[in-house]
Amino acid sequence: MEIPFTFYWCILYFQICCAIWIFQYSGKRAKVHAKWMEKEGESPSKLYQSPTAKFSNPFVNETTAMTYYERLKLALFGVSLAPVRIICFAVLLGLTSLVSKISIIGLTREQLSEPLDGWRHAVQMPVMLLSRAMLFIFGFYSIRVKGTLAATNEAPIIVCNHNGMIDAFYFASVAMPAAVAAYENLDIPLLGPILSAFQAITVNRTDPNSKKQVLMDIKRRAREATEFQRRVLIFPEGTTTNGTTVISFKQGAFVAGTPVQPVAIRYPHINFNPAWVFGPSQAMTVVRLCCQFVNFMEVTYLPVYVPSEEEIADPHLYANNVRNKIADVLGVPATAHTFDDLRLVSAAYALHEPLSQASLGMEEVQRVFNVDFKTVEKHLVTFAALDTEKTGRVSYAQFLKGFELEDSPQLQKMWSLVDNEGLGTLNFKEYFYGLAMVNESGDIKDAIKLAFNTFGTIGDSGEAFMSMAEMEALLRFAMPDIAQGTIKAIFDQADKNKDGKLNFTEFIRMAEQNPDFITVMKGWFESVSQRNATEYAESKKKKKPKEEADKKKE
How do residues 317-366 score in pLDDT, each as one tens digit? 999 999 999 999 999 988 888 888 888 888 888 888 877 666 777 777 77
Q: From 78, 103, 123, give the residue that closes a domain.
A: 78
Per-residue pLDDT of 88-104, as tens digits, reads 999 999 999 999 999 99
380 and 262 belong to one structural domain: no
Per-residue model confidence (pLDDT) at position 246? 92
What are the start-end ranges of the H helices in 331-435?
A: 339-350, 362-369, 373-386, 396-402, 409-418, 428-431
Cβ atoms of 304 and 154 closer than 8 Å: yes
CA-closest candidate to residue 359, choices 233, 219, 241, 496 = 241
Residue-range definition of the domain harbouring residue 72: 5-78
* Same domain membership, residue 179 and residue 230: yes
| Residue 542 in domain | no
97 located within any domain: yes
CATH of residue 507's domain is 1.10.238.10
To the nearest 5 percent, what fractions of the chain are helix, strand and coil?
Answer: 55, 10, 35
Pairing assessment for the beta strands 260-266 and 157-160 based on DSSP bridges: parallel
Q: Which of 335, 363, 395 is the last residue of a domain?
A: 335
Instruction: Let me know how many helices (H) and strands (E) the chain has, helices first.
Output: 24, 12
| SS3 call for 157 | strand
User: Measured between alpha carbons, how far is 384 from 273 in angstroms, rounded to an integer?
Assistant: 29
Whether residues 306 and 362 share a domain: the answer is: no
Does 186 fall in a domain? yes
| One domain for residues 355 and 245 | no
Same domain for 359 and 230?
Answer: no
Per-residue model confidence (pLDDT) at position 466 = 79
Give the model's pLDDT for residue 322: 96
Helix (H, G, I), strand (E, B) or coil at 183: helix
pLDDT on residue 446: 61
Regarding whether 307 and 203 lie in a shared domain, the answer is yes
Residue numbers of the chain with a pLDDT score lower than 50: 1, 8, 13, 19-55, 551-554
- For residues 529 and 416, state if they share a domain: yes
Domain count within the chain: 3
| Same domain membership, residue 359 and residue 330 | no
Query: Of the candidates 270, 304, 335, which is a domain's last residue?
Result: 335
Instruction: Please tell me whether residues 329 and 389 are part of one structural domain.
Output: no
Residues 401 and 319 in one domain: no
Query: What are the contacts of 238-241 at 24+ separation with CB within 8 A?
Result: 238/338, 238/339, 239/59, 239/162, 239/339, 239/342, 240/162, 240/163, 240/164, 240/275, 240/276, 240/277, 241/58, 241/59, 241/161, 241/162, 241/163, 241/275, 241/277, 241/337
Judge whether 554 lies within some domain: no
178 domain residue, yes or no: yes
Domain membership flag for residue 434: yes
Whether 17 is covered by a domain: the verdict is yes
Residues 262 and 360 in one domain: no
| Statement to judge: residues 186 and 309 lie in one domain | yes
